[in-house]
Amino acid sequence: MREEKNNQRPILPLDTSTRDVNPTAPPVHVNSTSNVHRGTHLKQRLRDSTKLIAPLIVVYVLISCLQQHYTRFRFDLPVHRPTGICKQEQPLRPSTNVAGKITHALKSDDFAARAAEALGGAVRVSTEVFDGWGLVGSDPRWGNFSLFHTYLEATFPRTHASLSLTKVNTYGLLYEWKGSDDTLAPLLLMAHQDVVPVDPAAYSLWKEPPYSGKLVDGYIWGRGSVDFKSGLIGILLAVETLLEEGWTPKRTIILSFGFDEETSGVQVKAL
């Protein structure tokens, strides 16, 4: 009987974990030997993990050291540092500052008054044209353009003295301002002398007479003050001002002024 008792395995307390989940489950006996084996297996896993992680840590440290070394080597290159400051050259100034003088003149009250008077005078010389007029040379009504040419010669004397003028089909004006470099293509500036006619019956509808050229509140009133004697006078006034300052162009400048633009420009095709 004693030998039978010694051969019996000890009975441990019931594992109630299963009964907590399922109260009807039969009691389970836990063998103490299995717990010992579990602890042994856990320690073995930790030792295996340490053997695996240790080489990885060594590799990481090695890579970090190499990266730091080569990065420092890359950016520790010799740097050139200037030993002195570059000499500041004196500003270059042209012998004549034509642009500066003209810019200053354009902002003056005297120039504004001069421009207004030149345009107002051009408006006062009627150069209206009609579709039913005959050809130049056969219809005397074209004669008003001769009066306009006389006005231009008196208003811009330097231009007419310095530029060559060719009259095309009697009343077309072609000015040439010779440049210093013949290899450059010329610059062409164009305008027209004629204006749209005004019906005499509509004169009373105008705030100012259509050919008064009157300056009111900073505006020139009259036919042609916009289309297009303003452009024509502006071109000639610019040339006259440049000539007064002694300026000469590098490329040739051509001025072309027609006289029948408002009637389709048939007679000024030669321009």
**Residues with catalytic function:** 194, 261
Distance CA 139, CA 66 (A): 101
Angle value at C-alpha 93, between 92 and 95, nearest 5 degrees: 135
Per DSSP, the three-state class of 97 is coil
Show the DSSP H helices in the chain as ranges: 2-7, 17-21, 32-75, 98-106, 109-124, 144-155, 157-162, 229-244
Neighbours of 270 (CB within 10 A): 9
* Count of residues in the chain: 271
CB 148 within 8 A of CB 212: no
Terminus-to-terminus CA distance in the chain, angstroms?
146
Check: CB of residue 127 under 8 Å from CB of residue 148.
yes
In the structure encoding, which two tokens stand for residue 11, read together?
Answer: 């009975």
**Structure token digits, residue 220:** 């020139």
Return the axis-axis angle of helices 229-244 and 109-124, rounded to nearest 10°: 130
